[in-house]
Structure 1
Amino acid sequence: MNITKEQIDELNAVVKVAVTKEDYQDKVETILKDYRKQANIPGFRKGQVPMGLIKKQYGKAVLVDEVNKLLQDNLNKYLTEEKLDVLGNPLPKQQDNFNWDAEDFAFEFELGLAPSFSIDLKSKDAITHYKIVADAKMIDEQVERLQKQYGKLISKEVVGKTDEITGTFVNEAEEIDHKTTLELDKIKDENALKSLIGKKAGEVVTLNTKDLFTEDYLLGSSLGISATKADNLEIEVSFTIEEINERELAPLDQEFFDKLFGKDVITSEEGLKERIKTDSEKQFEQQSDQKLLNDVTEHFIETTKFDLPEEFLTKWIKTTGEKQLTDDEANEEFKKSEKGLRYQLIEGKIIQENGIQIQFEELKDFAKGFIKEQMAQFGQLDPKDEELDGIAARVLSNQDEVKRLSEQLMSQKLLNLYKEKANLTSKEVTYEDFVKEVYG
């Protein structure tokens, strides 16, 4: 077998494969002999069918199958040995006069080649790395939420401005009939608030769902409908008041601190606020890091210029999916995937040039850390290492989980690299300002 490459341009090449009878004959003959031993054809004893009949019946199918296997194996080997960085897969060129009855065959495959480009991690323009801090206002609000959560409910006769009301929302046309508890300090609509204050159990109030709550997500949960259905919902609903309660805040005493964090872990209001600040900023760091990763990704895509073998990739997209696409559909799919493909190439180059690798022990430790965080959410704060090892082993036996965790660990390694080498400027903001600045 002879394989040669014809370079069309920097991004495109054609590989030519010449297959001779000597390349496939022995294998084809062996398979046909096995077929003869097993063949059951009327008029002949098993194993005694003439080879000519076997060849006539099965010969071409076996030939085609074996030649295709040879092509696949040798083409992949050639691409590896020649260190050709290809995009997609080789595409066979159409040959109108191809003849499977010949003894020697010639095949041609189109290749799309990865472009050459360079990446400068230390860009001229600095990328903002947000440091989100928990300010006094946020900490005080969190303390009050905790006091409410652990406080006492005191029954009331009449609705007050800061009370909690249990009742049922109804709208027959939208099939809404849902019992819920409303915190009046979460009501945004002033007219709705006025209509509720002063009411007693048993009374019915009509409310409009548009801008009813301070947070959009509250509408769906309060009405018992999906977030999708609740989005931009503007209807009138009746609300029947069933129970009115005032929540008395839990005192900031040692019993309260122990309920939150365990005995004597926190012993003062100042200690509580410091713990809340520390825990909140740790959570904010994850959001800040994700924002940085997104911004660095966008920066590299915008500033790293290179061409792609667009015609080849469009043809590859057109022919290699579950169903063959039209030219217009393939062009549209290429446009959708181009940005992702560009970043895959950029990320791959960054990983290669900086020698970033994932070792199994690293992945195992990463999985154990993830499992430990999950267990902590369910109150298991100090699991034994043997238990973590066992769970990690089960998780890592699942290839989908291995892929997911590997991607997360690689993202963390890239993030650490960017923090070390990229041109970053730190900006300290409150969470409220971060949300306004980043999400508008």
Structure 2
Amino acid sequence: MKLSKNYEKLEKSAVKLTVTVDKADIEETYKKVTANYTKNAQIPGFRKGHVPAKVLETKYGEALKADTLSEVIDASLNEIFSDEKETENRPLPYAQPAMEKMPEFELGKDLVYSVTYDVFPSVNVKNFSGITVKEPQVTVGDAELAEELKGIQERNATVTDKTSSEGVAKNDIVTINYSELDDSGNVIEGSKREGFVFTVGSGENIYKIDDEILGMKKDETKEITKTYKKDDADKELAGKTKKISVTVKAIKVRDLPALDDELAQDVNSKYKTLDDLKADLKRQMETALKRRLAEIKNNDLLSQLVEKNQFELPESMLQAELDGRWRMMAQQFQTTTDQLERMMASSGQAKEAMLDAWKPEAEKMLKSRIIIENLLKERNISVTPEEIEAQYAKIAEEGGMTVEEVKKHYEDPRSKEYLIDDAKEAKLYEELYKEVKVSKGDKMTFAELFRQR
């Protein structure tokens, strides 16, 4: 097809494409459309397939023009967007070209039409000045290992009921009924809760009454009056005095197993001794620490790059991301998107308000992704087969597997593609950290680092 094209850049990474198709292609397509009508048209007084062109044009003139227009536009756009040289000007998959008005059609003249659509944003990331990435200072030592082992003990603990004569103690698992009382001792509507379970000392209860229920026995009821500090983290409680009625319904004690070879074998048959478990646990923690620190550094770097290299997102890209998050939320609730919207509305939450609340985080994530994609392309980052082999070895070492097991996991072409993409990004970050300053961040424990999520 003989055609010419012109691109005009618009705001928010949109383009206006104007296409001119040669009149000879218009006439050829018109003849093909007319021939197809002739073959299939059934008009009284004429045999099927023998209707004169003039008769067809009289009866179906507008339809012939409309079909010709449609075929010419579809064919020309397909030809343009299938050109490998046009990758930067291809529409996003969720941004179909839109035509504001139909073009004028006249045989013997070139066809000129325009469409607008969104394209992948192009960002020239050059501003690295003043960027300092902070790396939290965390170690995996004996204390951190002991904390993880304690967690294993708790997950493998047996839980038994206390006798009726035994009172609540720290670390007990209690079930309580509670309600908030007004000044007259009446239950405040909506504050009653039954069967609430928590571990004493964890503070994981709305009124933070861990200390106040110590010593209470099963089926005992107690009225608690508690005044909260003005700077309490819970703004609903800060500076207030609450009167709460609490009834203990069950008290259970957690019996922790001994830290020995038997526990290690219960955790996994691959461990023969407690030392085996400790060694593997430390390796896992060090791997998790390395990944978490890299994640924090990368997020910090990207946040600063987004701030220093401003650009606008295509509307369709942001909307597609928000729609995707809405669908994911529906899946989590095991329902449809329409049912989720009705469910949220019944609880006083409008879908549009929720999407608006998600926008800032969605925009930041998309802009970070776009910056990475543009830098990968601009710097022509690639990985060699030898580097992929090294990646297999690294994954095997960190995961306690053999290289053969890792390779089997990545046999699927899509999985291997993800691995290659990850390797490219890791290579890019290595380059970027040579161009920005990395300084020591705050000291924190292993547990604190992961609580930051």
**TM-score, length basis structure 1:** 0.63
Q: Paired residue for 1:288?
A: 293
Counterpart contact for 1:168–1:179, Cα < 8 Å: yes
Within 5 Å, give how 1:88-103 maps onto structure 2: 99-103=104-108
1-structure distance, mates of 2:316, 2:154: 62
Change over 3 Å in CA distance of 1:277–1:50 after alignment to 2 = same
Letter in 2 for 1:353: E
Deviation, structure 1 residue 3: 1.6
Change over 3 Å in CA distance of 1:349–1:265 after alignment to 2 = same
Instruction: Identify the match of residue 199 of structure 1 among 212, 216, 220.
Output: 216
Q: Secondary structure at the match of 2:426?
A: helix
Q: Secondary structure at the match of 1:142?
A: helix
Q: Paired residue for 2:39?
A: 37
Deviations 1:93-142 (A, max 9, x none): 8679x532453123356799976735377x66442234532354443333
What is the RMSD of the two structures over their aligned residues, measured on CA atoms? 5.6
Q: Does 1:21 align with 2:23?
A: yes
Q: Paired residue for 2:56?
A: 54
Instruction: Identify the match of residue 158 of structure 1 among 159, 166, 182.
Output: 166
Q: Does 1:355 align with 2:380?
A: yes
Q: Secondary structure at the match of 1:100?
A: coil
Deviations 1:222-277 (A, max 9, x none): xxxxxxxx997999876543332333432222222322343654345xx6555444
In the alignment, structure 2 segments of 5+ residues that lack a partner are 180-186, 324-355
Deviation, structure 1 residue 196: 1.7
Q: Does 1:179 align with 2:195?
A: yes
1-structure distance, mates of 2:270, 2:118: 65
Counterpart contact for 2:262–2:273, Cα < 8 Å: no
Deviation, structure 1 residue 92: 7.5
Deviations 1:25-46 (A, max 9, x none): 2233223222322233455443
Within 5 Å, give how 1:116-131 maps onto structure 2: 117=124, 119=126, 125-130=131-136
Q: Paired residue for 1:298?
A: 303
Deviation, structure 1 residue 192: 1.9
Q: Secondary structure at the match of 2:167?
A: coil
Counterpart contact for 2:173–2:198, Cα < 8 Å: yes
Counterpart contact for 1:28–1:63, Cα < 8 Å: yes
Q: Does 1:167 align with 2:184?
A: no
Q: Paired residue for 1:410?
A: 421
Bigger drift between 51-60 and 429-438 goes to: 429-438
Counterpart contact for 2:7–2:17, Cα < 8 Å: yes
Counterpart contact for 1:132–1:434, Cα < 8 Å: no
2-structure distance, mates of 1:116, 1:165: 55
Letter in 2 for 1:65: S
1-structure distance, mates of 2:64, 2:113: 20
Deviation, structure 1 residue 23: 1.1
Q: Paired residue for 2:147?
A: 141
Q: Secondary structure at the match of 1:22?
A: helix
2-structure distance, mates of 1:286, 1:146: 22
Change over 3 Å in CA distance of 1:343–1:435 after alignment to 2 = closer
Deviation, structure 1 residue 351: 0.8
Bigger drift between 58-67 and 234-243 goes to: 234-243
Q: Paired residue for 1:431?
A: 445
Q: Secondary structure at the match of 1:186?
A: coil
Counterpart contact for 1:92–1:107, Cα < 8 Å: no
2-structure distance, mates of 1:191, 1:94: 61
Letter in 1 for 2:166: V
2-structure distance, mates of 1:390, 1:314: 38
Deviation, structure 1 residue 64: 1.2
Counterpart contact for 2:139–2:446, Cα < 8 Å: no
1-structure distance, mates of 2:252, 2:123: 68
Q: Paired residue for 2:4?
A: 3
Counterpart contact for 1:200–1:241, Cα < 8 Å: yes
2-structure distance, mates of 1:295, 1:25: 59
Letter in 1 for 2:421: M
Deviation, structure 1 residue 153: 4.4
2-structure distance, mates of 1:360, 1:231: 56
Bigger drift between 19-28 and 290-299 goes to: 19-28
**TM-score, length basis structure 2:** 0.62
Q: Secondary structure at the match of 2:54?
A: helix
1-structure distance, mates of 2:225, 2:452: 31
Deviation, structure 1 residue 303: 3.4
Instruction: Identify the match of residue 71 of structure 2 among 57, 66, 79.
Output: 66
In the alignment, structure 1 segments of 5+ residues that lack a partner are 217-229, 323-331, 397-401
Counterpart contact for 2:169–2:200, Cα < 8 Å: yes
Letter in 1 for 2:287: K
Q: Secondary structure at the match of 1:106?
A: strand
Instruction: Identify the match of residue 279 of structure 1 among 284, 293, 299.
Output: 284
Letter in 2 for 1:259: D
Deviations 1:312-348 (A, max 9, x none): x689999xxx9xxxxxxxxx9xx97876675455323
Change over 3 Å in CA distance of 1:2–1:408 after alignment to 2 = same
